[in-house]
Structure 1
Amino acid sequence: MIPSLQTMAPRNSILHPLLPLLLLSFSIICISVPISSASNLLTINQTLSGDQKLTSKGENFVLGFFTPTNTSNTSSKFYIGIWYFKVSKLKPVWVANRDTPVSDTNSSVLQISQDGNLVLLDQDKSLIWSTNATISYNSTVAAVLGDDGNLVLRDLYNSSKVFWQSIENPADTWLPGGKIAFNRTAGVSQKLISWKNSENPAPGIFSMEIDPVESQYLLKWNGTKTYWNTGSWNGHIFSGVPEMRDSYIYDFDFINNSQESYFNYSLKGGTTIISRFIMDVSGQIKMLNWVDYNKEWTQFWAQPKTQCQVIRLCGPFGTCNEEKGQYCSCLRGFSPKSPEDWALSDYSGGCSRDVQLQCGGNSSTNYVEPDKFLQISSVRLPEDIGQSLQVGSSAADCEQACLSDCSCTAYSYSNNCSLWYGELLDLQEQYSGPDRGGTLYLRLAASELPSNKGKKRTVLVFGVVVGVVAACLACVAVLIWILVWRRRRRQLSTASKLVEGTLVAFRYSDLQRVTKNFSDQLGVGGFGSVFKGVLPDSTVIAVKKLAGIGQGEKQFRTEVSTIGTVQHVNLVRLRGFCSENTQRLLVYDHMPNGSLDAHLFQNIPNHVLSWSTRYNIALGIARGLVYLHEKCRDCIIHCDIKPENILLDDSFAPKVSDFGLAKLVGRDFSRVLTTMRGTRGYLAPEWISGVPITPKADAYSYGMMLFEIISGRRNTEQLEEKEGPAVFFPKVAARKLIEGEVVSLLDPRLEGVGSEEEISRVCKVAFWCVQDDEFFRPTMGQVVQILEGVLEVNMPPIPRSLEILSENEGSIVFFSDSSSNHSSQMKSTASNSSQTKSTSSSVSIHQE
């Protein structure tokens, strides 16, 4: 090589004395060198091993070796992955060698091979993983980690020449800007595939992919059986995911052309939220947000909404129960096949029998008791019926048909006989759905169930004892019963029904007695009057006598039973009801601190609510409304949020009351609302315009109430006595918010003591909630996240309705925080709806 270089250069060339330096440089280039810890790229002459990492330029993401979060430090399983740099709890968003971990990171290397592919080699230099891209040999290849979490294999000098990228080869996480596409040319679908369990990133049994026929995404078990879909794309959202309409964080788009079809989502400009969209090991797709103040990932959204909708989740002979912390459990007589997998949330292996079936009942030498059946009530029956027969007119015939077939596992009988063979799948306990719910008879070995002989002997002995005792006590019991029956009958019957968590059907006369004939009135409203009462066990209750409720008794009881199942710490608990003749009454827990309006608008000595208490009250109310809107089986719109309907317990925790009345009387009751004192100022514009009401109507009422929580006054009230005409407080709040003087908005009784940041946050939330167009209002779920500090809220636009109330004083126009300083953010202009609308598009809510 040296002679050739000398031949190429002229004898007197200036390169001649530099030749040793050139040779040294060339020899260095041919040797692989470790990567710099601050680098975001890996070139052909570099390697990554041990604790070395690639870090994106903006320090958003990191690539390196990792071991799954819950695995101990002695683990010998390591993977190459990408995770968030700014998140303290490591959760990979992409994994290269999902199926094949390496055991030694110091001798394993990630590098670019001679053919230009990015490869992982283990300690024996065996190929573990490769990008398997087709690369021209004349390319200078580099792997670059971007701030969007995308690892790109491209030409070092031409960024548009991309050979492979991780965002198009996802694992279980779908990052903004990525796509899960269907390639029409190749007929291949990309898939988002769950981890096997919480500590093993190997592909699991649940996946998400696009439907090649419809414009929708499908969730599948084992790549074959679909158990949930997003619904078709309607041009704006997926029809089965209405929550997309309320997103203030993401922009959505759906691409469908001759080459491919896919959905794309991206963060709105200025949004700094850290989130993960994952195909979880639970079989649900989830959106998780990182909350930095408590260092935890919190679930923002999940589908399917209930865990037990995920098929095959608990495996053979496993049963799902929504009421348990660990959803999966084994049927009686069965135990987990792999307790280790179950501990890692992988239940797919299911359960195995503790005692094998005898099947046959008799042996040539010893008598063996035949198998028996365990009755399991209120269960979702398995989907795959082995056989459905009309074998006879009784359940006994069905039982015998199963018992005579050794492969029969279970049966059910309801007009006809259904038999199941082999493994039982998709069982769900405490099931109340209309589809295939019923009673299952599970086949077990006789030793798994109690013996009838022992039971008969126990019953006989017990009967003798009971008879003797009954004979001795009969006379005494009759005398006592005669003396006290008339006086205590009703009290004892009522008291015996007060079982925790159940609804009591009270008699009207009982409620008359415990309320002293409705003499102690606590309050009155558009739906009726409320009276204080005391039950025989000294429990204090509040009894509401409803006015204008016209349902029949059966309908009323059905409605109340539904409401009675709604339980939340920020909702008033319904204890029971009364439905006799034309009387309709509801019985609630009594709240010792009364309603919020008394503390805000009346000067109660020594009972001024501090700012921290008001902030917690605002947060609690929002949480209660989230439960009504999103967590109940049916969405319940309160329709009458105001301080009078917020009750305070002994620790001043808020309880939303009257939340069931919207369901009882229906949602078309604006006549009742408009005649109620103070309610007129809380009505959303859509009530007046007559358009259908959505949960955003509650958000509007909540926003108007927030202003009153801040000021301690009605929104329309004189600032000082005899000062002149009433002033609309939201208008004053708008000006003070822009001027940065929000503390001056506080209730004067607080003497300016309160967090300026919290007051500003609440004030901004209030203005967002009272937007004229419900589309621009946040959901109550987003309100909770804002008040909890998960999301940051920018400056809102002023609603048109407030501009009208400004009359001749001009209007205040709000700009986003990115616009300019506060001094230039307030303008006095003529009312201009187009200008207001243009500013509304520039504001956003984003995570801190």
Structure 2
Amino acid sequence: MGPVSLFFLILATPAPLFTAAQGFGYPTANLSTLWVNHDASLPHSVHYKGGLAARPILLHSQSAHYGQSFATGFFCAPPCDMFYFAVFIVRTDRGARIIDGNPQVVWSANRARPVSENATVELTSGGELVLRDADGSLVWSTGRSGRPVAGMVITNIGNLVLFDLMNATVWQSFDHPTDTLVPGQSLVEGMRLTASTSATNWTENQLYVNVRQDGLYAYVASAPPQLYYMLTSNEEKTGNEITKVTFMNSSLCIFLNSTYPDPNSISWPTTTSSQFIRLESDGHLRMHEWDMAEETWPAVEEVTKPKFGDCGFPTVCGEYGICTGRKCTCPLQDNNSSGYFKPIGDPKDNLGCTPLTPISCKEMQHHQFLTLDEVSYFDVNHSFVNATNQDDCKQACLKNCSCRAVNFRRYFEQTETDGHCFWVTKVFSLQSIKLEPVNYKSTVFIKVQVGPSNSAAPSAHSANNSNLILGTTIPAIITVVLLVVAVTIYLQRRRAYYDKKDEDFNFDQFARMPARFSFQKLRECTQGFNKKLGEGGFGSVYEGKLGEERVAVKRLESARQGKKEFLAEVQTIGSIEHINLVRLIGFCAEKSQRLLVYEYMPRGSLDRWIHYRHNNAPLDWPTRCRIILDIAKGLCYLHEECRQKIAHLDIKPQNILLDEKFNAKVADFGLSKLIDRDQSKVMTVMRGTPGYMAPEWLTSQITEKVDVYSFGVVVMELISGRKNIDNSLPEESSNLINLLRGKARDNQLSDLIDKHSEDMVAHQEQVIQKMKLAMWCLLNDGCQRPSMSTVIKVLDGARSIETAILHRFHDINSAMSVQDTSAYSVKAQASVLSGPR
């Protein structure tokens, strides 16, 4: 091996220069050093192919030859609007300069809360490493240890260390692992690796591995956690030493009876950074190794190897999904009943299944089991039930509402009355054993909720009484007809009475309702409806205060005009909750008064920030990206995660509200429509706002894809900083979507970028990718538009857009639009609700 020289970077705002700490010889930083996350402040920033960016503040480089090196600093993945303070592997040349080469993050301080441009990290005079966002808010810190800190160092094995005057470790990143191990790094009892949600979303998911006394265990989080893999040692533990699992010699080594040395005191080979082990989002613990020829990090070894391969991982088919040779299906009883579960989203995405009727602990008398023969469950290491036969096993689960399923196993050498029973409180992926070589018989019983009339199969007694049933059919029919007539007459009289008296609604029909307020209470909280925030098609919005909480009170000015819309909003948003949907706090239905109480959104509606009606500064590109993603997540929840699909039908900037940090939430559900999961289309009267309505409104047959079209329009307004239809502009430019079609055909998309924002012009390539996503959403044929879950995958970088799809948008012959405003049930200005709510 040639001589090794060490290189460190001075990348900071004015502060004391770095000095090499005696005894380390590694790149170090002194106290009172501040770094700003900005290209100008960090001149050694590197922008990689594919959109990655690294802004190192310390680098440990093997400058004598090309190779893998460790750096710490700011790192971002496409679209690079948010950053992580991280340790990452980079490639360097002989001049100790970082070169292209697929960098890999091996540790992150703020995976749950990325920061923006101009965030700072500071090694304070008190010896604390502190990360703050651009607005000065504290994001993460090492905390004060009580021991004096002399400086910070990045070691040759990728450990970020705060050390004292004696060069002893005060704090180190190795004590706080995220999802990755590098050679020389150990997990000890009390530490864990937690998988990320996806390759582009680094927030923690429910899969993790930790160390116990005899080895490494992999779990999926639930109450209690469920084990899906373990790696144990044949050695017997004899003392009180802490068990550790160390990544060395290209494998994980378990040490039960040895002391735990400081990894920084070991002289590891300089080439060890060409490998790492990562717990990935699917639960696989894989070792990756640098491939010089391909310049990639392929997985070269699988550490976790469950008995049933991929089917042995708890999330391979999502919750309740059954894995058979990597194919996922929802549970069916005897392969002939589909009335209990439905797939989540597109079945091809393997997102799992959800019960059609959720389990209710208040109706335990209606709990029954779906029987799945030749099906097993991955976790058989906890929650054993003291039951040796199948009936006792099932009864034990029925008596405990927290039990969601039981697995009864009988090994072939056991008698018919013997077996093992265990239960789970949360059902993850199951696995078929029809084609597996096993030495036991396994049946899974999944608890389902049925109604009083939906009980199990008919009894033998009822099957033998067909003559009795036939004999009572005619009187029953007559009785039903008379009852229907009587009920119809009653309802007609009742409806006429309420039309005259306009009494309170009967809200008992709703299973979940928000708080109900008196009109007097809301009059007081708004100080007599004194401060108006905005106006909409069915009323006005006023600022109020309930206790210490600021609220927005929407008052319907005409109860007759807004009754249907009022019911729609209470029924729809009152039963759902999502971080990207405006929260309905309560309502008032008193005589002719109809009011809705929402959470207060201090930044108001999106239109005021992108149409520049208030002389506001332009939003920066990261904020616009986050708003787009927030809207997509809110719509995805409505379309794919509720019991019934909810089509909003009026997506536009005025109905997107922003909180203090510009997080976006979808609002105003007055025009929404519930769609059953088994409906491909629904007939409904035309409703919405001109310019945001999809072409299929002309047929009055719509799906939730009309919201996808409106989302595409909003994305283009966010990007261009103008209204979709602006009659103050020349005729050829007045319609934004027609203009987009022409610019796309002429390859001049950059002309549409909001010129108010220099930041967007600087991110032109990323902006154009968002335009292409909008074009996909704006296709004339609703069936060809993406689902909102697919939109999120594109925004996260997990999916690309096919060129052929964009050509369909370019074709002007396929272009249709809804322009006849006289046909709208809501006029152009009717549903506008600008300003904070």
Fold in common (TM above 0.5): no
TM-score (norm 1): 0.40
With normalisation by structure 2, the TM-score equals: 0.40
The structure having more radius of gyration, on CA atoms, is 1
Structure number with higher relative contact order (C-alpha < 8 Å, ≥ 6 residues apart): 2
